[in-house]
Structures are given as structure tokens and as C-alpha cells.
Amino acid sequence: MDGSIGRPVVRRDAAAKATGVARYAADFPHADTAYAAIATSPIARGRMTRIDTAAAEAVPGVRLVLTHRSLNATLNGETFIMKGGHMQSSFMPLSSDQVHYAGQIVSLIVADTQEAAEEAARKVEIDYQAEHASAAIDDPDRIETRLADKSIDKGDAEAAFDAAPVKIDATYLTPAQHHNPIELYATSAVWRDDTLLVNVPSQWVVGTQAGLATIFGIPMADIKVESPFVGGGFGGKATILPHTVLVAMAARRLGRPVKLVVPREAMFTVGSFRPATRSRVRLAAERDGTLTAVLHDEAGQTAAIDHIAFAGTAITARMYASPNIRMRETTIATDVNTPGFQRAPAEAPGFFGFESAVDELAVALAMDPIELRIRNEPARDPVSDLPWSSRSLVQCYRRGAELFGWDRRTPGVGSMTAADGTLIGWGCATATYPSAMAPSSARVRLNADGTCIVSCAAHDLGTGAYTVLGQVAADVLHVSDELVRVHLGDTTLPSGSMAGGSVTTGSSGSAVHMAATAVRDRLFQAVSGSGDTAGFTIADGHVVGPDGSRHRIAQVLGNSPGGFIEETANWKPTGMDDRSMRRGLAGGMAFAGPVTATHVSHSFGAQFAEVRIDPLLRTVKVSRMVGVFACGRIINPRTAHSNLAGGMIWGASFALLEETRVDRPRARFANTDLAGYHVSTNADIGDVIVETLDEHDTVVNAIGAKAVGEVSIVGMPAAIANAIYHATGIRVRKTPILVEDLL
Ligand code: MOS
């Protein structure tokens, strides 16, 4: 509809979700489905020495008991996402007798009923020969590997640090964390002749399709991956998880549809997780707060079977103007399932330490932490020296300070204690997230009855893509939002990219914009009778010519073949070559930016927290959070603000609750359920106030939309840690910050 972009349109998928009509991966019924269960390894490292499946096979209704002996799974050349493939890990369970991590799938059992499959899974007998293993990055025998290509050096940071009058040198820890989407991992696989249908919750249906095509040696066109609704993804559903392959293999072998729903406990080991990190941050400044050296050494957990690194320092290096910058990255190999993407994978852990250190520096300088940040705001990207496509961080701080009431803050530790003794602390921190873009296709059809259909194999993880992508088409074609139908999450639709790296709105939105504009141009051409459409506009269901003549759109379309106009567009990010675009549209990884030949593009935010701490019990309540963000053009403030608020709440969860604990002797994750793995609930969270600035970025893409998905978790953990320091004088340099840290 006229000016649909920027309106707080209510979620178009809301009714389907509220009424249960929305189908998630496990909800698709397939006749004659057989049900799968998994058995997982109790040991973390070693090999299987004896397997006996007789008792499992004897359970009535059991059809198939797969182990590495009976399956010998192979990826057929398909590989780990970080090696250019689509898999969550290089290692494929049921491919050998080796055990690489606790919770590894060692058997897949298929039966006529779920109950029979689960009973049989308990009856698979395996003997193991265990070897020493470790799942924690601080175990002394762990090997640390430097990633030379991730080093950043500008000036002489060590010398500048040594010479500086004011400095901070501190080390910060973040633990392993797990995605815990409400929707469990699940896969249904159905073979018909040599074609495969897969229902799987997915952040990348086309990538999943491409990977499965390689594994099974069939054309992509013979595989359909369907994921219209995703009950939370957070990065954990961006790659092909090994069990999806196993289920498809079992279905083919059995000649029957097979469905597996992964139990919550196994979610911690059959997928990925956020790896633990250790950050040493050194900051040096003149007495007036001018930064003279920024040094950040980050070590991240990886798996022994894979190498994955999320370089937080690539992002922290871009935050402040400093003549001297030195960044180092290492990985620490542990005997765990392969870590992977989890909301702001590099940024969230890296910024906890980095933005805590900035606060420590402000305390050392006796300077307001916002003033310190503004003083060191870089005019250009400090690493590349390129201009920003837009950077409104200072404006975010000014508006955030106003909303939060920062000018009422008294800087002294414990100085804001309430009359009843409750300790009150106020803290802030910066958030950022790169705005990368990915190639995307979209199809837009305008019908004579006034409806419009948008189709794209993009994904709605519960964040609003159905609504937002419809608004882009509505805006171009002046159709009311209720008349736009959007189809997503299905590989039979025009290609969409991975819903990762916060790219969907900017990328698929640009493709929809392009296709809708092509439809509009054809509509104008149909009226003008020529290619000259200058001066044509749409108003009130009419095409209005430059001479003021009015032509009913329904009539124009009625005269078109089929009664509609339809266009498909392939959108390519600025600066991307055609080959990369084709690779991306065919399900390969192809991202452009955030650093292009001419610009660096990031979203930014200023985040504020108020904590209230019981003086005796030391329990922390986050009573208030304020976040002001600049993410380019906001297509829909309602869905964007919900997404941003969700990230802030997760940030509070990160700061105070989330940790996957390691059972060291057994080298396994210990708290593998929602009773033991704590996430924020309503009772943990007070007021959450979100604003977005009206930021115009003319560089990033045609619709001016930067990243919204991940940025809002990034600054919150440090903002809360900084607030806790302000309340108590205790600087906690690890998360989660627990009662015992504040005694
Ligand atoms: Mo996000 S962690 O890039 O799905």
C-alpha cells in the first residue's frame, strides 16, 4: 500500500501460528511414516569395540537399526560449511567406529511407532574403548592454534600501550552456550522414485537442497526442501545437521517416509553451539580519554574434528579511532561436537570483554563512559580507512541517554542505592553487526483481482519476513498489505539465501523490490503502449498517466494473458561478480560485504541497562533496558523492534544465566535440558525499550535496509556487567555473572 514501508504492519503469519494452522517440520503428515530414534555415545573420545543390535532388532515393530557397520555413511564429497559445503560438521556419524564427542549419534533406529524406536534405541549394545578427552578450553593439555590470517596490525600498539599514562589490561571469559529454540530439530524424509522431499526446520532451504543433492548424487531439481515456519533458529538451523542425512538414508533404505524429532537433551550434541571464548583486552589512553592503543587477543573454542573460528576482533577493531591497533585470534581444540553460528557468533562474546574494558577505562579516567566512546568515534573505518555506508552510533547514544535518563546517573560506585538498600547500577555498551548482503531471487505477481503474490525461498524464523517482504511489494505496487500473500521456505520457489548474518530483509527485500518494480514497469508499459513509462504513477487502484489519464489496474491486468503480470528478479549485491551470484543462487555460500571496495557497512546500537541488586542475597534483576539502533531503513518498526527486544532479552540471558556446563571427567555437556540450561523468562526481565533511528543509507542496497537480526544481543552483556560494577564495585569478567560472583 502507499507508503507500506515503514508502517508497523501486524505479523501476517500471526493467525496461522495462533490457531495451529502453521505447519512446522514435524507437522507434515506423510502416509505410512516410520518413526526414528537415536542412540548417542556416552564417551567423548575413543572407538566402538563391540556392537550388538540383536535385542534392539527384536523389539516388535522395529524395521531398521543402523550403525556404522550397517550404514557406513558417506557424504559423497559434500562437506563442512566452513570448507565450502553445507554440513554442520566435517564428521559424519555412522561413518566409522570412531567417537569424537559425547552425544555423537551411534545408532539410528526406525520403527512403526515412536515408542518402539525409543525402546530399541535403549537396547542397542555398544562397548567403547575410551581415550582421554576434554571439553573445556582451560584444560591444561589443550592445544592453541594462532590464526595468522586473522591478525590486524596498525601502528605499534605494544609500544603505545607501554608508553600510555592510563591503561587497562584484563581478561574476560564467556562459556559455551546452546541455542534452545522451542521447535526441536526434526526431519521427515520421503522418497518417491528417485526424488526426495525433506521437511526440516531450516535457515537455508536452498543450501540444504544443494548439499543433499551432492550427498545422494541426484540433481537439485529432484530434491524439495520445505520449511515454511521455523520455531526459532538462532543460527542452529543454518546448516545440514548430520541426522537429516541419516534420516534420508534410512528412508531410502526402508522405502518408507521416516521422521525423527530430536529430543531436547540430544539438541546439545547433534547440532552446533556457541563456543567458549577468552579475551584479553588492552586499552591505552591519554588522560583526556583519547585512545592511543587498542589490543584484543581472543581465543575461541573449536572442535578437534573441525576448525571454526568466529573472529570477534575483526569487529572490535572497527569500533574506535586509534592510531595503534593490534588484534590476534587463536582457536583451542576440544573434544566436542563442532561449534557453529549462534546469534552474533563473533560479536556477542567478543563485545562482552571489549565493551567491559572500555567501561573499565572510563572508570580509570574518571570519565563518563558515553563521553569516552564519543570522543573516540572514528570518522572512517579504522581498519580499512574506508568510509561507512552509514554510522549513526553517536546519535544512538544521544537518543538512548535521553530515553534512559542517563544525565541523572551519579558515577560513584553504589551511589544510586535505593532507600530500602537495593543496589542500583546503570551501565551502557555499544552494539554493532556487519551488514553483509547475499544474492537472492524473488517472484512477484499482480493479479486482476487486486491481490499480489510474493515468492522467495527465504525464511521467517519468527522474525517477520512474511510481513516485511510483503510490505516491500505492497509499497512498490500500492497494494494494501492484506492483499499481498507471501510464500517462503520452499525450494520450489525462486532462490533465497541463508537466513544467516542478518541478511534476509536487505537481500531478499531487494529482490522483491526489483521484481515488484519490474511488474510496475510492465503495468505502465501496458498502458503507455511503449517502453516510455516516464511520469506514470499508481493511485487508488489506477495507473495515472503523465497527462492525468486514469486506467483501472484491474482492467489493464484483465487484458493481460492469464489476468496477471508476473516478474522474477535475481538481485545481486553491489560489487559482487556474476559467478558469485550464480553460486549463491544455486545454494552456495556467497556474501558481499560488510567491507566492499568503497564502503564498510554495519548496523549500530547504544544499549543501556539498569540493574537492581539485593544487598544481602546479591540476586540481580535487570529492571530496565534501553536500546537505540541505527539499522538503515526500518521496513516494519513493529517486527524490527520485537526482533531487537528479543536480542536484548537474550543479552540479559547471556549476562546472567546462560552457560553450558562441562562435566570435566567425562568431557561432556552436563546441563542438557531446559531445567539445567537457564534462559531468561518474563520474571527475569523488566522494561525493554527499543527505538530505531530514521537512518538513510543509500549505499547498502536499493531499499536502504541494514542488518537487524543479530545486533541487539551484542552490547547487552557488557552493559549489564558495567551496570553491576556501578552498583557494587565488583568487576565480573566472565559470564554468566552469578550470585557467588557478587558476594
Ligand atoms: Mo545467525 S547466528 O548468522 O543465524
By the 8 A CB rule, do 556 and 543 touch? yes
Q: Is the pLDDT of residue 2 over 70?
A: no
Residue-wise pLDDT for 327-366, tens only, equals: 999 999 999 999 999 999 999 999 999 999 999 999 999 9
User: Does ligand 1 come within 6 angstroms of the Cβ of 399?
Assistant: no
Residue-wise pLDDT for 609-647, tens only, equals: 999 999 999 999 999 999 999 999 999 999 999 999 999
Give me the percent of the chain exceeding a pLDDT of 70.
Answer: 100
Please state, rounded to an integer, the average pLDDT across all residues of the chain.
97
The best mutation among 274, 347, 708, 710 to test binding of ligand 1, ranked by most ligand atoms within 8 Å of the C-beta, falls on: 710
Cβ-based neighbour number of residue 390 at 10 Å: 23
Residue-wise pLDDT for 439-493, tens only, equals: 999 999 999 999 999 999 999 999 999 999 999 999 999 999 999 999 999 999 9
ipTM for this prediction: 0.96
Quote the ligand 1 centre to 386 CA distance (angstroms). Answer: 26
**Neighbouring residues of 379: CB distance < 8 A, sequence distance ≥ 6:** 321
Residue nearest to atom 4 of ligand 1 (CA): 235
Q: How far is CA 281 from CA 74, 152, 201, 214, 375, in A?
A: 43, 14, 38, 43, 19
Nearest atom in ligand 1 to 344's CA: 2
Residue-wise pLDDT for 25-56, tens only, equals: 999 999 999 999 999 999 999 999 999 999 99
**DSSP, residue by residue, 440-470:** EEEEEEEETTS-EEEE-B---SSSSHHHHHH
**Residue 594 corresponds to which cell in the numbers above?**
560488510
- Residue range 289-298: mean pLDDT, rounded: 98
**Residue 737 banded pLDDT, cuts 50, 70, 90:** very high
Alpha-carbon gap, residue 59 to 52, rounded angstroms: 14
Which residue from 475, 472, 486, 566 is spatially nearest to 521, judged by alpha carbons?
566
Quote the ligand 1 centre to 437 CA distance (angstroms). Answer: 13
Residue-wise pLDDT for 82-129, tens only, equals: 999 999 999 999 999 999 999 999 999 999 999 999 999 999 999 999
- Residue range 390-419: mean pLDDT, rounded: 98
Quote the ligand 1 centre to 662 CA distance (angstroms). Answer: 24
Residue-wise pLDDT for 174-212, tens only, equals: 999 999 999 999 999 999 999 999 999 999 999 999 999
**Residue 67 corresponds to which cell in the numbers above?**
550403525
pLDDT of residue 372: 98
pTM, two decimals, is 0.98
Phi/psi region, residue 314 (left: phi>0; alpha: psi -120 to 50; beta: rest), is: alpha
- Strands laid side by side in the 440-447 sheet: 484-487, 452-455, 440-447, 564-571
User: Does ligand 1 come within 6 angstroms of the Cβ of 427?
Assistant: no
**Residue 597 banded pLDDT, cuts 50, 70, 90:** very high
**Residue 659 banded pLDDT, cuts 50, 70, 90:** very high
Nearest atom in ligand 1 to 341's CA: 2
End-to-end CA distance of the chain: 57
Nearest atom in ligand 1 to 498's CA: 4
**Residue 176 corresponds to which cell in the numbers above?**
559455551
- For the chain, list the domains and their CATH numbers: 25-133+182-232+237-270 (3.90.1170.50), 340-435+596-742 (3.30.365.10), 438-585 (3.30.365.10)
Nearest atom in ligand 1 to 500's CA: 3
Residue-wise pLDDT for 136-179, tens only, equals: 999 999 999 999 999 999 999 999 999 999 999 999 999 999 99
Nearest atom in ligand 1 to 203's CA: 4
Residue type, 360: E
- Residue range 273-293: mean pLDDT, rounded: 98
pLDDT of residue 1: 58
**Residue 22 corresponds to which cell in the numbers above?**
502453521
- Residue range 721-741: mean pLDDT, rounded: 98
Quote the ligand 1 centre to 174 CA distance (angstroms). Answer: 18
**Residue 530 banded pLDDT, cuts 50, 70, 90:** confident
